[in-house]
Structure 1
Amino acid sequence: MDHLYTGPGRFGWAGGLGTTAYTDPSEGLVGVLFTQVAMTSPVPPKVFEDFWTTVYASID
């Protein structure tokens, strides 16, 4: 599954203990999200998608 924050040239981590951090050098962007909810499946929780969608929407 492709995610907004994992495109070419972007790198980071989605941790199983509810954290995500990625950087997008082409946009000069670094985003970090810490939650208190452990992941219960290999699919990132919806809050991760919502966070990154909001981050990229704020660029425009």
Structure 2
Amino acid sequence: MTVNLDPNIPDPDGFYDELLQAHAGLSDEESDAFNARLILTLANHIGDRAVLRAAIEAAK
């Protein structure tokens, strides 16, 4: 299974802005915890272990 690494988010700048806004006012610890929750939420949405494994390797 492969991971799509090509641009695939409509309005990527808008998404990036939303992501930054989600971190606004958070301490470093709170920001790290938010990132962990977001990663786990998206991983659960994907659900496919082969895709998740490929994503982990791509991120390394």
Instruction: Give the helix-richer structure, 1 or 2.
Output: 2
Q: Point out which structure has higher relative CO (alpha carbons under 8 A, 6+ apart).
A: 2
Larger radius of gyration: 2
Q: TM-score normalised to the size of structure 1?
A: 0.34
Instruction: Give the strand-richer structure, 1 or 2.
Output: 1
